[in-house]
A and B are shown apart, each in its own frame.
Chain A
Amino acid sequence: MAGLIFWRKKKEDKAQVSEPVVVEPVEIETVVESEPVEEVVESVVAPVVTEPEIVEEPVLEAVELPKRRFAGGIKSLFSRIKFDLENLNELEDILIQADFGVDAAEQIVAKVKAKAKSTGAKTEAELKQILTDLLAEAFTRDDIALKLDSGVQPYVILVVGVNGAGKTTTIGKLANWMVQGGAKVTLGAADTFRAAAVEQLATWAQRSNSEIVKPTTEGQEPASVAYETIEKAIASGADIAIVDTAGRLQNKQGLMDELGKIRRVIEKQTPISEVLLVLDATTGQNALTQAKAFAEVAQVTGIVLTKLDGTAKGGIVYAIQEQLNLPIKLVGVGEGIDDFAFFDPQEFATGLVG
């Protein structure tokens, strides 16, 4: 997968690059580190950000963010058993153990069986291929990349999720990656609830060289911090604003309503490009309930699946994808600042089945 491109308005000095450079993925399995395509990055670092007074046909220029690939991490479903026609039924157990859930597991097994029958697949390799294709296909969709192409800046990313899912860490990584790609990033510390959450985000801001907007008073209304973040991001000509929110369990109605409010105050100033729901891959069936609730209240546009570096497989995202039609956009694979990647359906499926 190529690096992500975001579009910003072209500066006055527009002799620079303008073609969106789509770079072919580097065919090295082990790459986790970012592989910035040097020339492109350098070319966009130089110019200063949009000057709003230039009233002309908005010409967009593409800014290529470094590629993110993710290798390893996902462990195969089939560590123990031989996978053939005879023990196809065991596939159900295996999928259940990967948190796919009983319904999804039954459904997948039925599909694999049907396909195997129609194609006459018998060998382990053939069956695995069927399963891989099935999973990859289920996760493949055209809205899998972050959508940063409207040209209306700053692109606002709102990050939501339950407590301890990894929101703040995800934001740190995301910010760092975007800054590496030459974007100007402002972070908003709208988690004013948890002890030291603001400081935690501030540390990430420092590490990633992003701006941060903190609450000015203790326990300030989160929506007002979000508002100020956007206000400041616009004033300072930031390319991207990422707003952190406090972790909340989806059954706490009051806290969920607060998210709606945060959304509304941001949208008063500028449209929100992405609402990312951060899900912990170790979460079981409750992740589906979480996704439902957050999708409804915060109008989630994509999922970030974190903690995939452990033993958890995160199978519940299959059900989420099927039932809620939400794309998985990013994955988190560790605590390091570079430990995240774009979600690649083929890679994910191959990793699980391989």
Chain B
Amino acid sequence: MFGNLSDRLVETFKNLRSKGKLSAADIDSTLREIRRALLEADVALEVVKNFIAAVRERALGDEVSKALNPAQQVVQIVNEELVQILGGEQKRLTFAKNPPTVIMLAGLQGSGKTTLAGKLAKWLKDQGQTPILVACDLQRPNAVNQLQVLGDSVGVPVFAPEAGNGSGNPVTVAKDAIKHAKHKQYSVVIVDTAGRLGIDEELMAQARDIRKATDPDEVLFVIDSMIGQDAVNVAKAFEDGVGITGVVLTKLDGDSRGGAALSVAQVTGKPIVFASTGESLDAFEPFYPDRMASRILDMGDILTLIEQAQKSFDEEQAMEMAQKLAKDTFTLEDFMDQMQQLKKMGSIKNMLAMMPGAGKLRSQLDNIDEKEIDRTEAIIRSMTPKERKDPKILNGSRRLRIAKGSGMTVTDVNSLVNRFEQAAKMMKTMAKGGNPGIPGMPQGMPAFGGAGSQANKNKKAKAKKGGKSGNPAKRAAEAAGSPTQNPTEPGAGSAFGLK
């Protein structure tokens, strides 16, 4: 499944690879695609405009002139900005110093407040709290009833003195609930309120009254992740009308891209605290800004790829490799290490499929033999340490022995040795500032530089200027080499959730 954005970006950058650097025009054409992607993800127009302006400014700065792959670099900037707006890090619930902690839920009709109340109660209970649910939605038919059923199924008591269905005063219920909770020593009070429209002044006033009556530690604004452009108006209305402390996104198990998250976070400046991801009462989790960023951008796959590359290529190893290259002591052992690193990143087919534009490569991808790496490994493992260090000593009888030991043929062994020599040569060239290639990778695979080449290149790049690699793994090495480059991204490795 390739996001439209991924493919369109590839199209935009088709002619760009050779240039290496971003021009203002390049950035603009990329940003046009990103603008569209954000709008298609339902990010509010005004938010998109501000956002694009911010990214453009950053992209025009020094930062990108070092970029090796412009598309990736811009995507990276966009992603970082998204994560930042979405709240940077996870936000935790504020608990009152003197219990009970009061959490009030507010939102439009059908946003999922009541269900969320049940989930929140369960989550708190699992954490050792003693929550109580309060039924202040006296409007919707049987909302009280629904809350009671939910309370029963999660084993949390429900304070519901009024039957609802249009009768009773929610403010009174809320007040009484706090008294009740204090008296019975519940640690958290969750107040479910009726769904209301931002423009319904009367109901907004009522929500304010409930807030006054309960003095909540958190007022969580519950919003359906499928909401469109109206998210801005709604969020503003609730922020101004009731005052909110955090946001909960619901129905994230759907396939909406959830751009509303960005709109709401931007407009209210309030963190998104929880994500509700299904109908079961366990389908509830803290909100991960980074995952949401990927989802909105519809570039989850490529970001995952970047992350996997970052994670898998051990930076120290990479540095070591680079030194070896520089000293011309790259051996078959290192070669194998490199392959294992690649393997760690997951199936090569899958990984390549994640790359933008891989659609065109699909037929080639089918020809890739995943076992090739295993076979290569078997051959190398059948060698003596001495042979691995110095493949030049491999004469006919040694090669025959290795072939027998690994269950391969002498031809296979020969071809591996050839490939290794080529790779070593290529790396040496690269170490001198050349183009990264395919160090001994199976046939039919597009360029995919190894860790050694990357680290090495980075070193050189600093001395010389930017190179041209399209390799996402490069970032890992670069981050190690120049920690100041992405100050907003301390834990880049963990910044992108795995799918």
Q: Which of A's residues lie within 8 Å of B, judged by CB?
A: 93, 96-99, 101-102, 162-166, 168, 172, 193-197, 199-200, 202-204, 249-252, 280, 282-287, 289, 307, 309-313, 316, 335
Question: Which of B229-237, B370-378, B449-457 interfaces with chain A?
Answer: B229-237
Is there an interface contact between B109 and A311, defined as CB atoms closer than 8 Å?
no
- List 9 additional A-B contacts (Cβ < 8 Å) besides A164-B224, A196-B142, A307-B110: A249-B251, A251-B253, A251-B254, A280-B226, A285-B41, A285-B257, A287-B228, A310-B197, A310-B199
- Closest B-chain residue to A105, C-beta based? B39
Query: Roughly how many angstroms separate A286 CA and B115 CA in the complex, as a whole number?
Result: 21
**Are A99 and B111 in contact, with the CB atoms below 8 A?**
no
Pair B146/A282 contact, Cβ less than 8 Å = no
B110, B146, B224 — which one has the most chain A CB atoms within 10 A of its CB? B110
Nearest B residue to A163, CB-CB: B251
Set of chain A residues within 8 Å of B257, measured between Cβ atoms: 285-286
Question: Closest Cβ of chain B: how far from A214's Cβ, in Å?
Answer: 13
* 4 A-B pairs with the lowest CB-CB distances in the bound complex, closest first: A284-B228, A164-B110, A284-B42, A196-B146
Bitwise, B17-48 to A at CB < 8 A (1) or not (0) is 00000000000000000001001111011000
Check A195–B140 contact: CB distance below 8 A: no
Asked if B202 CB lies within 8 Å of chain A CBs, one says no
Across the interface, name the chain B residue whose C-beta is closest to A193: B279
| Contact between B228 and A99, CB atoms less than 8 A apart | yes
- Complex A-B: 27 CB contacts under 8 Å: A96-B45, A98-B229, A162-B226, A163-B110, A163-B251, A172-B141, A195-B149, A196-B149, A199-B141, A199-B146, A200-B142, A200-B143, A249-B251, A251-B255, A252-B253, A282-B108, A282-B230, A282-B231, A285-B228, A286-B226, A286-B255, A287-B226, A307-B108, A310-B230, A311-B237, A312-B229, A335-B140
B139 within 8 A of A: yes
Interchain CA distance A119-B231 in the complex, whole Å? 37
- The 0/1 profile, CB within 8 Å of A marked 1, for residues 132-145 of chain B is 00000001111101
B40–A283 contact, CB under 8 A?
Answer: no
A102–B40 touching, CB < 8 Å: yes
B255 near A284 (CB under 8 angstroms)? no
Q: CA of A307 to CA of B107 in the docked complex: distance in angstroms? A: 13
For A202, what are the chain B residues with a Cβ–Cβ distance below 8 Å? 142
- CA of A283 to CA of B250, assembled, Å: 13
* B149-172 contacts to A (CB < 8 Å): 149-150, 153, 165
Query: Is there an interface contact between A312 and B228, defined as CB atoms closer than 8 Å?
Result: yes
Query: Which of A285, A309, A313 has the largest count of B CB atoms less than 10 A from its CB?
Result: A285
Distance in angstroms from A173 CB to nearest chain B CB is: 12
B254 & A200 in contact (Cβ 8 Å cutoff): no
In chain B between 227 and 277, which residues have their CB closer than 8 angstroms to a CB of chain A?
A: 227-231, 233-234, 237, 251, 253-257, 259-260
- B112 adjacent to chain A (CB < 8 Å): yes
List of B residues within 8 angstroms of A98 by Cβ: 229
Contact A200 B109, CB 8 Å, known A162-B226, A195-B149: no
> How far, in whole Å, are A172 and B140 apart by their CA atoms in the complex?
12
Task: Find out whether the CB atom of A284 lies under 8 angstroms from the CB atom of B251.
Answer: no
The answer to whether A284 and B227 have CB atoms under 8 Å apart is: yes
Contacts of B131 in A (CB 8 A): none
Which residues of B in the span 308-360 have a Cβ within 8 Å of any Cβ on A?
Answer: none
Task: With CB as the reference atom, state the residue of chain A lying closest to B199.
Answer: A311
- Bound together, the chains give a CA A311 to CA B253 distance in angstroms of 25
Does A250 contact B109, Cβ atoms closer than 8 Å?
Answer: no
User: Can you name the residue of chain A whose Cβ is closest to the Cβ of B37?
Assistant: A102
Please indicate the chain A residues that have their CB under 8 angstroms from the CB of B253 in the complex. 249, 251-252
B231 contacts across to A, CB distance below 8 A: 282, 284
- Which B residues are in CB contact (< 8 Å) with A313? 230
Q: Check if A163 sits within 8 Å of B141, measured CB to CB.
A: no
Whether the Cβ atoms of B141 and A203 lie closer than 8 Å is yes
Please classify the interface of chain B as helix (H, G, I), strand (E, B), loop, or mixed, using the class held by over half of its residues: loop
Q: Does B100 contact A (CB under 8 A)?
A: no
Q: Complex Cα distance A194/B36, Å?
A: 36
- Compute the total of residue contacts between A and B using a CB distance below 8 Å: 144
B 189-225 to A, binary, CB cutoff 8 A, 1 in contact else 0: 0000000011100000000000000000000000010
Given A195-B150, A286-B255, A310-B108, A101:B230 Cβ within 8 A? no
| Chain A contact residues, majority secondary structure | loop
A-facing residues in B112-148 (Cβ within 8 Å): 112, 115, 118, 139-143, 145-148
Chain A min CB distance to B300 (Å): 15
Known: A102-B40, A164-B111, A310-B198. A283 touches B254 (CB 8 A): no
Are A96 and B146 in contact, CB atoms less than 8 angstroms apart? no
B111 touches A97 (CB 8 A): no
Interface centre among A168, A193, A311 (most CB of B within 10 A): A311
Q: Do B146 and A200 touch across chains, with their CB atoms under 8 A apart?
A: yes
User: Of A96, A194, A250, which contacts B254 at CB under 8 A?
Assistant: A250
Nearest opposing residue in chain B for A196, CB measure: B146
Pair B141/A164 contact, Cβ less than 8 Å: no
B234→A311 contact, CB < 8 A: yes
Query: In the bound complex, what is the Cα–Cα distance between A162 and B142 (angstroms)?
Result: 19
Q: Which of chain B's residues have a CB closer than 8 A to the CB of A204? A: 141
Would A286 and B150 count as touching, CB distance under 8 A? no
Q: Which residues of A contact B197 (CB under 8 A)?
A: 307, 309-311
Q: Separation in Å of the B39 CB from the closest CB of chain A?
A: 5
CA distance A42 to B257 in the complex (A): 51
Q: Is the CB of B142 within 8 A of A289?
A: no
Give Cα A69–Cα B147 distance, bound, in whole angstroms. Answer: 35
The residue in chain A whose Cβ has the minimal distance to the Cβ of B40 is: A285
Contact of B224 among A172, A196, A280 (CB under 8 A): A280
Asked if B110 and A165 make an inter-chain contact with CB atoms under 8 angstroms apart, the answer reads: yes
Cβ–Cβ contact A249 & B108, under 8 A: no
CB <8 Å contact, A164 and B112: yes
- The answer to whether A99 and B229 touch (CB under 8 A), given A282-B234, A311-B234, is yes
CB-CB under 8 A from A102, the residues of chain B are 36, 39-40
- Rounded to whole angstroms, the CA-CA distance of A164 and B223 in the bound complex is 11
Contact B228 A316, beta carbon cutoff 8 Å: yes
Answer whether A162 and B109 are a contact pair too, CB < 8 Å, given A102-B40, A203-B142, A310-B197: no
- Specify which chain B residues have a CB less than 8 angstroms from the CB of A335 in the assembled complex: 109, 139-140
Give min CB distance, B247 to chain A, whole Å: 16
What sequence of 0s and 1s flags, for each residue 99-111 of chain B, a beta carbon within 8 Å of any chain A beta carbon? 0000000001111
B residues less than 8 Å from A93 (CB atoms)? 45
Q: Which residues of A are found within 8 Å of B42, using beta-carbon distances?
A: 99, 284-286
Question: Measured between C-beta atoms, what is the minimum distance from A176 to chain B in Å?
Answer: 13
> How many Å from the CB of B5 to the closest CB on chain A?
12
> Which A residue's beta carbon lies closest to that of B118?
A195
Task: Please report the C-alpha to C-alpha distance between residue A309 and residue B230 in the assembled complex, in whole angstroms.
Answer: 12
